Amino acid sequence: MEKVALFVDGANMFYAQRENHWHIDWRLAYHFFTDNKEKAAAYYFTATPPLGDSEKVTKYRGFRTALINMGYSVVDKEVKLIKSPDSAIVKLKGNLDIELVFRMLTTASSYDEAVLMGGDSDYVPIIDHLRALGKIVTVVGRRQSVSNDLINAANKFVDLETIRARIEKRNGLKKQMGAH
């Protein structure tokens, strides 16, 4: 039986959901991509809110616990606050692309197919490498935001809109969107 591993770029999927105006039920997504396959792993990569924002931290912890209970391994790190030296503008930075690529690479022997829910062209080199190893790579994302280079590198591309009926969250939308 084919072994599949799911890798979710949480920030990318947060923005995809916002742009699509509907929300992913992560339990349904997990089952959609692993049905009739052996489950190698499921990873969800995300930044945590700053510790000073207790309301967001509480919502995030609930979301994280729910993901873990669904079978995901959550890889997270605290968002960094970066203040511009020229102004009072503060940006939030919480990118986990390197962690996602590292996990795809170091666990490659445990799966036959990698499902990447994300759309950054930065993922092209890891997809090329996995395909050279004989792995099947499926990229999932919002068609309007996924890099054409990424789509072309993958074996298969799945537009979120085409699977909406199978993975859309039908209740508790605000609760889930408290964190990404």
Q: Is the pLDDT of residue 175 over 80?
A: no
| Residues 6 or more apart in contact with residue 87 via CB below 8 angstroms | none
Phi, psi of 108 (to 5 degrees): -55, -30
Confidence of residue 51 (pLDDT cuts 50, 70, 90): confident
CA distance 32 to 138: 13
Mean pLDDT over residues 150-162, rounded? 97
Which stretches within 81-132 are classed as H helix?
A: 97-106, 124-132
pLDDT for the residue numbered 176? 43
How open is the CA angle 17-100-148, to the nearest 5 degrees? Answer: 60
Going from N- to C-terminal start, the domains of the chain cover: 3-176
Q: Is the pLDDT of residue 43 over 80?
A: yes
pTM: 0.87
pLDDT tens string 8-40: 999 899 999 999 999 999 999 999 999 999 999
* Pairwise pLDDT comparison (58 vs 172), residue with the higher score: 58
Q: Is CATH 3.40.50.1010 correct for 3-176?
A: yes
Q: Is the pLDDT of residue 123 over 70?
A: yes
| Residues 6 or more apart in contact with residue 169 via CB below 8 angstroms | 22, 23, 24, 25, 28, 176
